[in-house]
A = this chain, B = another copy of it.
């Protein structure tokens, strides 16, 4: 199964790409913006495709061609301001949904944000980001794709534990980016997660087990 990872040069994306490379039955394709990023992946034997979330749906659809699944792990990053939040986290994400449909790819996994579905639980400081994620998720849900929406808690860079808690109504918490990547890996091929959206934080269940119960 060929999986295009959007945002492959990001902190979650990079780990996911490497997990996919080690996992039997999967071939990652790292979608990146810059030639030097592609070269860096090539050194690890990982195929890349150049495309930009500020580009057209057509360009993105061409980049996706030949893949069986798309995983959206990109983020404008907190420091770039709300303009990039609108252009990348919302419109960029929505364009990849349209592009997946155009390219005939049915499987799509989105990295969203904890409780992005629930306006009342949005952190006031991050509210514009939550708005963007909320509506990107809505676009995905309204699409015809076999989607899964993964909404991680506060992202931290420490090593993962491989143990998580998954649900719709769980206590807020943090999660290692490595564990988010592990959840994505487990979710991609899991048909029980098609059409599902869930929050995930660090917890006590093995990733595989938690995902199988969704």
Contact = CB atoms under 8 A, between A and B. Distances in A.
A83 B78 CA distance: 12
Interface in A123-173: 127-128, 131-132, 134-135, 138-139, 142
Interface in A54-77: 56-57
A179 interface: no
Contacts of A134: 91
A94 interface: yes
Interface in A73-111: 81-83, 85-87, 90-91, 94-95
Interface of A: 56-57, 81-83, 85-87, 90-91, 94-95, 119-120, 127-128, 131-132, 134-135, 138-139, 142
Integer count of this chain's copies in the complex: 2
Q: Is the interface of A mostly helix, strand, loop or mixed?
A: helix
A85 B91 CA distance: 14
A144 B139 CA distance: 16
Contacts of A142: 138, 142
B83 A128 contact: yes
Contacts of A120: 56
A139 B131 contact: no
Nearest to A82: B82
A86 B85 contact: yes
A131 B82 contact: no
B82 A128 contact: yes
A85 B83 CA distance: 9
Q: Among the interface residues A83, A86, A127, A128, which one has the most CB atoms of the partner chain B within 10 A?
A: A86
